[in-house]
Structure 1
Amino acid sequence: MTTETVTGPAEPVHARIPDTTAGGTVILLNGTSSSGKTSIARELLSVLDGTWFHMPVDAFHGMRGGHALPGDDVQAEIDRTCKGFHRAVAGMAAGGNRLVVDYPLSSPWRLLDLLDLLDPQNTVLIGVHCPLPELERRERERGDRQHGLAATQYDHVHAHGVHDLDIDTSLHSPAECALRIRDVLTDRPRPTAFERLRRSLRP
């Protein structure tokens, strides 16, 4: 008596989920509003090897539509947007994509949430600094930012104290900052800032 192995039809190629061999690198630019994060991100895309995505949180806020919420509900909506943004960043990185993320860690929960979501070995945390008087001057000059936003964020975005690299945009141009970040990528500090922060804040 012989036995036969019954197999189903071959899975069509277009139905297969592509493999992801490894997660992608995340460069997280952390600084206040008007500190120069977006300008640095644009320069990075021109000097880094290969394909990178620029993911600014402002783009997610810009997708919001519908009717404005009452004032008491605005912060809750901002927090929901940021939580979704965190998961979008983590999902893109998990898919093997390389990202430049433009985002202020202006509340402790934002850092804690990202420590849980991102691969600490593949996250490069950059502190984007600028003196407050210069931030306020830029706000006035630009005219497209809430006046005083940088001041409200100033004491919070770098409160955790640990970055893989700190840069001052009042001293260096966006292009110079981008080159310094590129150099850090080739010789990353070990343990990374995210690894150290996870150990201290997520024991």
Structure 2
Amino acid sequence: MKGNVIVLNGTSSSGKTTLARELQSILPEVYLLCSLDAFWDMTPLGMPAGSKNFPNMKLALAKSVRALAETGHNVIVDIVFCGQKTGTELAKEFAGLNTKIVKVECPLDELSKREIARGNRTIGLAKSQYESVHLGVHYDLIVDTLIHSPKQCAEKIMDSMH
């Protein structure tokens, strides 16, 4: 029996990880969290994100998620797409899986405030991703993390799965 896959796509600081943790706490089944940040945490210290030494990190994440789902695990994917390129790669890798693609949106001015408040992100990272992250991507659902709380967004996702 294959597991379900929920993909949360949005810029840095849009609230994907917080939303993923909320989903884990309210979904009736167990879901593993597979985040792009965790993949970058595997690289040597000081290695810049997007390094040419790791040209296919998002594809590697997608293949890992597929392996988890094929072995019966439910997975929440916390990722920042490079627009349609990542969307196309994931669609190919997740073919035949029960997948829900969720747009996690938040206004740019709020993203900037969140980056500053976090203190562990490069200022301007969300702005650099803002235009491309959703470009050409087809979504099953959209949540807005400024208007709704993490719990409300998680409940909207959970309700859409029935």
Give TM-score scaled by structure 1 length: 0.74
Match of 1:50 in 2: 29
In structure 1, distance between residues paired with 2:51 and 2:117: 26
CA 86–25 in structure 1, closer or farther in 2 if over 3 Å, else same: same
Q: Point out where structure 2 has 5 or more consecutive residues left out of the alignment.
A: none
Amino acid of the residue matched to residue 133 of structure 2?
V
Match of 2:57 in 1: 81
| 1:155 matches 2:131 | yes
Equivalenced residues, count = 162
Match of 1:190 in 2: none
Match of 2:119 in 1: 143
Match of 1:31 in 2: 10
Is 2:7–2:102's contact at 8 Å kept on the other side of the alignment? Answer: yes
What is the CA deviation profile of residues 118-162 of structure 1, one whole-angstrom value per residue up to 9, with x for unaligned ones? 035511010000000000010011110111110111111111252
Match of 1:182 in 2: 158
Q: Percent identity?
A: 37
Give TM-score scaled by structure 2 length: 0.92
Compare relative contact order (CA 8 Å, sep 6+) and give the higher one, 1 or 2.
Answer: 2
Secondary structure, counterpart of 2:101 in structure 1 = strand
In structure 1, distance between residues paired with 2:77 and 2:131: 21
- Structure holding more strand per residue: 2
Match of 2:78 in 1: 102
In structure 2, distance between residues paired with 1:44 and 1:74: 28
What is the CA deviation profile of residues 145-194 of structure 1, one whole-angstrom value per residue up to 9, with x for unaligned ones? 111110111111111252111111010010110011000011xxxxxxxx
Is 2:83–2:136's contact at 8 Å kept on the other side of the alignment? Answer: no
Indicate the structure (1 or 2) with the bigger Cα radius of gyration: 1
Secondary structure, counterpart of 1:84 in structure 2 = helix
In structure 2, distance between residues paired with 1:107 and 1:146: 20
Q: Point out where structure 1 has 5 or more consecutive residues left out of the alignment.
A: 1-21, 187-203
| 1:63 matches 2:42 | yes
- Structure holding more helix per residue: 1
CA 161–50 in structure 1, closer or farther in 2 if over 3 Å, else same: closer
Secondary structure, counterpart of 2:102 in structure 1 = strand
